[in-house]
Every structure is written in structure tokens, then in C-alpha cells.
Amino acid sequence: MKWNWAILSSIFTIITVLTGCNNKLMVLDPKGPQAQTQADVIMISIWTMSIIVAAVFILLVIMLVKYRASKQPADYEPPHIEGSKLVESICIGIPVIIVIFLSVITIQSNEQVETTPKGYEGQKPLVVYASSSDWKWHFSYPEENIETVNYLYIPTDRPLEFKLYSYGPITSFWIPQLGGQKYAMSDMVNTLHLAADVPGEYMGRNANFSGKGFAENTFDVKAMPQDEFEKWVEEVKATAKPLTQEKFDELLDPGHLGRLTYTGTHLDFSPAPEGENGEHHMMPSHTEHSAMAE
């Protein structure tokens, strides 16, 4: 028993040392308000759960040390105990309180991560249509009228609204240091609210398995002050080639691509599956049916 704990604690030490070599864990090193909220929720839940873990571990050690057969007289007959209402009420009561506490935190934070981040409400968000195809990411900036592949430039201190959809399997748009992920699907558009507080380069990727090229389905994120972002947009407009339908179809072919930049967006000729263009609105049979019903 003793060397058991020795080994377990040495595992903990090894892991702490190994992770200590790296920088902070990405998810716990937030660079935006949503990721901050999520990191806070994670830390609160870890601390709360440690109480439970400690209680169980301590009780277990007490029981094992105190009531092992080798410590009892040979003729000891354990008593018959049915259970006690008081003890069982405590065992239900404390978890109920903890679950209520965590539920309140969850419900509040669920609301927060699904809306414009706190402190950013007044500002006009930058809307980016992020769509995936096997195994690339396409970023369309409709207002700026530019499009990039596999890299994303964003302004800091401004709310970001990502419109997510897919030209293939379900993917999941994830920039751990800016906030949690959300699915991109081919038959509807999901909205993800993010923002960046700190300029810098971040890792972005598809987190949802989507076939052969999934592991390399990543993109680079660069957050910069608004004026720098505007300068970049101007530069793209001055230098990049326009995105044609033909070119876009070519980009959709399965495979991997480097960073690409275009003026114009694919939204003009290949609109996102939202509103009237939603897959569930385009069904020919559906429209026929409703026509017949009328």
C-alpha cells in the first residue's frame, strides 16, 4: 500500500515537472474575454471538485488503514449495519449543494460565451465567415470584401462574430487562447462570439475529426491593433487577385494548401447556408410540398 502512494505521487511530480517545462497550458493562458471566462470556470470547477476528491481519498485511506483484517483480532465479527438516514442525507446534501453551485456558474457562463463578450457590447463587431473544406479553412471578410485561406487576421479590442459552416464533414472551429470551439456544418450556420485582448499569434484548428487530412487542418491567427488591421486590409485590396468561382471550386478540392489571399469573397456566388440559402430551405421537395399544401 505504501509504495503505491509513493508511485502515485512520483507520477504527479513527473507530470508537474514535464508540464512545467512548457509554458502555461494553452486553455489556461487566455488572450481574450471568452477564453478568460472559460478558464475561470475551469479553475473554479477544479477547486470545487478537489473538495470531493479529497473527501473520498481521505475516507478511503481511513477505511483501508483502520479496518484491514490484519489490524483486527482474529475473532472479530463485523456488525450488521443497515445504513443511517443522517449519514446518507449528508452524502446527498453536500453533492446537491455543490451541483447547485456549479449549475449557477454554468448557466451564467453559458449565456456569456453565447453573446458578445462583456465590455464589448457597444462596439460594432467584425463579422468573419469561416468555412471549412477538406482540409482547409476559408475566411471571408464580407465588409472588407476580402478572403483568406488558412490564416486569419483579426483586430484586438473589438468583438468578433464568426459565422461557421462547412463544405464537407462536420468540423469544429477552435482557437483555444481566444475561446472554445463550435461546429461548422454544411446545412446551417453557427455563430461564435470571440474577441482578442492581446496582440499576438495564436493556434487555430479544426478540432472535430474530418477524415484523412484532419491532423493538419490548422490555421494561423494573428491579432493586431485596429489600425494595423485596416492597413493590412488595404494592402490585400491593393495586391491580391480577385477570387473567381472557378478558382474557389479549385480550392474546395480535397487536399492541403498554404496561406492564400484574395479580394472579393465566395459569399457572392456560393452563399453560406443561412436564411434563404439554408439547406433545409432549399429542398426541392419541401417547396413543392408547401406549394401543394397551399
Partner 1 sequence: MEFFERFAIPHPSAPIYASMVAIGLTVIAIVAGLTYFKKWGYLWREWLTTVDHKRIGIMYLISALLMLFRGGVDAIMMRSQTAIPENTLLDAQHYNEVFTTHGIVMIIFMAMPFIYALMNFVVPLQIGARDVAFPRLNALSFWLFFMGAMLFNISFVIGGSPDAGWTAYFPLAGNEFSTSVGTNYYALALQIAGLGTLMSGINFIVTILKMRAPGITLMKMPMFTWSALTANVIVVFAFPVLTVALIMMTMDRLFGTHFFATTNGGMDMLWANLFWVWGHPEVYILILPAFGVYSEVISTFARRNLYGYKSMVASMVGISFLSFLVWTHHFFTMGQGALTNSIFSVTTMAIAIPTGIKIFNWLFTMWKGKIEFTVPMLYAVGFIPIFTIGGVTGVMLAMASADYQYHNTMFLVAHFHYTIIPGVVFAMIAGLTYWWPKMFGFMLNERIGKWAFWFIAISFNVTFFPMFFTGLDGQARRMYTYSEATGFGPLNMLSFIGALGLAVGFALIAYNVYYSTRYASRNISADPWDARTLEWATQSPVPAYNFAITPQANSSEAFWDAKKKGHELFKGEVQKIHMPSNSGVPFIMSCIFFIWGFSFVFSLWIPAILATIGIFICMAQRSFERDPGYYISVKEIKETESKLRGA
Confirm or reject binding of residue 19 to partner 1 (CB under 8 A): yes
Of residues 33-52, those binding partner 1 (CB under 8 A): 35, 37-39, 41-42, 45-46, 49, 52
Residue 271 has phi, psi (to 5 degrees) of -65, 155
Letters for 198-227 (x = contact with partner 1 by CB under 8 A, - = none) are -----x-xxxxxxxxxxx------------
The residue from 31, 32, 33, 113 that contacts partner 1 (CB under 8 A) is 113
219 closest CA partner among 171, 161, 264, 187: 171
By CB under 8 A, which span of 121-129, 153-161, 264-272, 276-284 interacts with partner 1?
276-284
Letters for 223-262 (x = contact with partner 1 by CB under 8 A, - = none) are ----------------------------------------
**CA 131/CA 149 separation, integer angstroms:** 10
Other beta carbons within 10 Å of 200? 13
Per the listing, cell 449519514 goes with 87
Letters for 90-109 (x = contact with partner 1 by CB under 8 A, - = none) are -xx--xx--x--xx-xxx-x
In a 3-state reduction of DSSP, which class is residue 29? coil
By CB under 8 A, which span of 57-65, 137-145, 153-161, 234-242 interacts with partner 1?
57-65
Confirm or reject binding of residue 32 to partner 1 (CB under 8 A): no
Confirm or reject binding of residue 67 to partner 1 (CB under 8 A): yes
Confirm or reject binding of residue 25 to partner 1 (CB under 8 A): yes
85-113 and 33-66 helices cross at what angle (nearest 10)? 160
Other beta carbons within 10 Å of 244? 13
Per the listing, cell 479549385 goes with 250
Letters for 166-205 (x = contact with partner 1 by CB under 8 A, - = none) are --xxx-x-x-x--xxxxx-xxxx-xx-----------x-x
Least gap, CB of 12 to partner 1 (angstroms): 8
Is there a contact between 38 and 180 (Cβ–Cβ < 8 Å)?
yes
In a 3-state reduction of DSSP, which class is residue 124? coil
46 closest CA partner among 70, 27, 65: 27
Confirm or reject binding of residue 6 to partner 1 (CB under 8 A): no
